[in-house]
Amino acid sequence: MYQSDVTIEAPSLGFPYYQTRHYNIKFHQYRDELCHYMAMKPFEYDSTPGDQDVVIYVRDIPHESTLGEFNGVRRIYAPPPRVFYDRILQKNHYEKVWVVGDPEIMNLGHPIVGYLMEKYNATKPKGSNALEDFQFISLAKNIILSPSTFGWWAAYFSSYRTTLHFPIMPLETMLPWCELLPGRPRVKYYDWFRSLEFDDIVQAREVCDGYLRGRWGMSMMKVFFLFIDQLQCEHSL
């Protein structure tokens, strides 16, 4: 399907990266073939997400600051703040909320995971490892993502009947997130900083790219204080 020695330089990352807008289009074009050749043996779970449940994938880097720098570019090293999750969960009224993430952050002490557990009774799948987490996310009919290639691929292998909730971040993340906006049915894009919501991929990409170009008047200081206020977490300081 692709030549294995073909790479593409991701803007501002400085190393070859396959998950760019060009390959994103190709990945969706050949989705059925990829699903066939990369299928995993089903795991046994005590319970799996129901049709009216939602699975939230929280991507965070333990022991790292919220705002960091990579290759000279300031980036967000954190999931979206609480307001992003509140907006989706209060609007949709799911029967059950599941939360999946790195074992180090899956506790009440984490500012997002703990908040979801306390306010929405979010439940972690029992006895899960990375592969089981991956498959568990892909089984969901409703998925809320953080900027993450792990979560992105798990959502990619989900059903086309699955609704994806995709955050638009106001600064560059640790990966080219704007490049990975999925052009597939049933995706909701959230500009949580300005309280905007989109169904259209073209509009979502324009907004996401606009943040990277500074079109919306964002500054590092504004985002810094936003995350301190809304995350209220020790590692933001």
In angstroms, rounded to a whole number, what is the distance separating the alpha carbons of residues 99 and 117?
8
Torsion sign (Cα): 81, 207, 72, 11: positive
What's the longest Cα–Cα distance across the chain? 49
Q: Render pLDDT for 119-177 as a digit per residue (tens, 0 to 9).
A: 999 999 987 688 899 999 999 999 999 998 889 889 988 887 899 999 998 877 877 88
In angstroms, rounded to a whole number, what is the distance separating the alpha carbons of residues 65 and 131?
27
Q: Render pLDDT for 90-127 as a digit per residue (tens, 0 to 9).
A: 999 999 999 999 998 999 999 999 999 999 999 999 87
Which one is the CATH code of 21-236: 3.10.20, 3.30.530, 1.10.3470, 3.40.50? 3.40.50
DSSP states of 147-184: S-HHHHHHHHTS-TT-EEEEEPPSS-BSS-GGGG---S
Q: Render pLDDT for 173-189 as a digit per residue (tens, 0 to 9).
A: 877 888 888 877 899 99
Q: Give the residue extent of every domain in the chain.
A: 21-236
In angstroms, rounded to a whole number, what is the distance separating the alpha carbons of residues 156 and 152?
6
Q: How big is the chain, counted in residues?
A: 237
Give 207 or 233, the one with higher predicted confidence.
Answer: 207
Helix (H) or strand (E) holding 206: helix 201-212
